[in-house]
Amino acid sequence: MVYLDFAASTPLLPSVETELFRSFQEDYSNPSSAHQYGRITAEKIEYAREVVANSIGAYKSEIIFTSGASESNNLAIKGYVLANKNKGKHIITSSIEHKCILAICNFLAKEHDYEITYIAPEANGIIKAQNVIDAMRQDTALVSIMHVNNELGSIQPIKEIGNACLERDIRLHVDAAQSYKKLPIDVDELNIDFLSLSAHKIYGPKGIGALYIRDLRETRIQPVIHGAGQEFGLRGGTLATPLILGFSAAIEDKTIENSFNQIQKINEFIRTETNNMKGLINSPEIDYIPHIINIRFPDFDANQFITNSQILCSQGSACSSLNIEPSYVLTSIGLNYIESMNSLRLSIGFDTDFVKVKVFFNELNKFLNRL
């Protein structure tokens, strides 16, 4: 089997595994307890909070631990707009956001009468900043645009959008689940007000993530999970110490950063081989992260390939890949039903090498010739 589905989830790094096992055994006290053990655990969590904050140029008082990017997206969008209805009831997002963003916006439109503007990407999967700017209005409460698209790897012009939001006093939320540790992120430089992160996309444990909230103490946010005052009263529930420390270990580990150049070479190899086999690249030619590449071949049943071959990859995002429906991301960039069904998303990890990628192309060749 060859795993080429790192955008869906990643295995644990050895450093993360070690920290998780240690912490599950040792850090069992409740970090909210006033006794000595509670305080020691709380200090470890505060260290992890600082690791997250430093990695994005934030203060640790602006970081909330959540269960992952889906929850962070919920807290940022619902939490902000529902607590700030006076700002207006218009939200701008894109048609290629992760499904959870689309679901949140749908909920706000249906249950709370928000008006949502969905910006369509260009044919290369990149959203034009100007289109987002043109959609901004007096009553726009929030703009939510992902940093990197999870199916195409396209990088969105966050800095330009962030500058425009700042000029107009509109808050910007960015889902960075796919870009974190693959691209540099500085929340001040990009003018980001809310940033969603997930540990299991960076070789950390599943079930943990974080939300950055600019000036958290001065920002009105409605909690999504009400509880006993944890996480500045914004996210109830006893903190998951081992997961938080595992997340922090994944952030401190430099394996992702160190593998960038190798992954770029593998991406280029996949592009060349795809062209040689008369395939097409759905991902952009510039402004992409090399970790994700979306390709298509005429007369190719991608779903059959995924279910019957030795290659572990996806047709679209993992959450929707059990549906035999064309990916809405691919239809948004102008692919028709058949072209979408002909498409495969390959996502590359730090230990993906040329041998594994050649196994993929061999399997693909066998499959295409069988048709």
Ligand X SMILES: Cc1ncc(COP(=O)(O)O)c(C=O)c1O
**Whose Cβ is closer to ligand X: residue 100's or residue 211's?**
100
**Whose Cβ is closer to ligand X: residue 175's or residue 231's?**
175
**Whose Cβ is closer to ligand X: residue 206's or residue 356's?**
206
Query: Smallest gap, in angstroms, from Cβ of residue 370 to ligand X?
Result: 31
Nearest residue to ligand X, by Cβ distance, number only:
68
Query: Smallest gap, in angstroms, from Cβ of residue 245 to ligand X?
Result: 17
- C-alpha distances in Å from residue 302, one per residue of 316, 339, 345: 10, 10, 10
What tokens appear for 80 in the block? 């902000």
What tokens appear for 298 in the block? 């005429």
Site for ligand X, rule CB under 6 A: 68-70, 98, 100, 146, 150, 175, 177-178, 198, 200, 209, 317
Query: Smallest gap, in angstroms, from Cβ of residue 196 to ligand X?
Result: 7
**Whose Cβ is closer to ligand X: residue 108's or residue 174's?**
174
Tokens 């390709």 belong to 295
Active site residue 319: yes
**Whose Cβ is closer to ligand X: residue 100's or residue 234's?**
100
- C-alpha distances in Å from residue 282, one per residue of 11, 124, 151, 179, 212: 26, 7, 9, 19, 31
Tell me which of 100, 165, 313, 319 is the catalytic residue: 319
Query: Smallest gap, in angstroms, from Cβ of residue 205 to ligand X?
Result: 11
Query: Smallest gap, in angstroms, from Cβ of residue 150 to ligand X?
Result: 3
CA atoms within 13 A on the CB side of 150: 31
- Active-site annotation, residues: 319
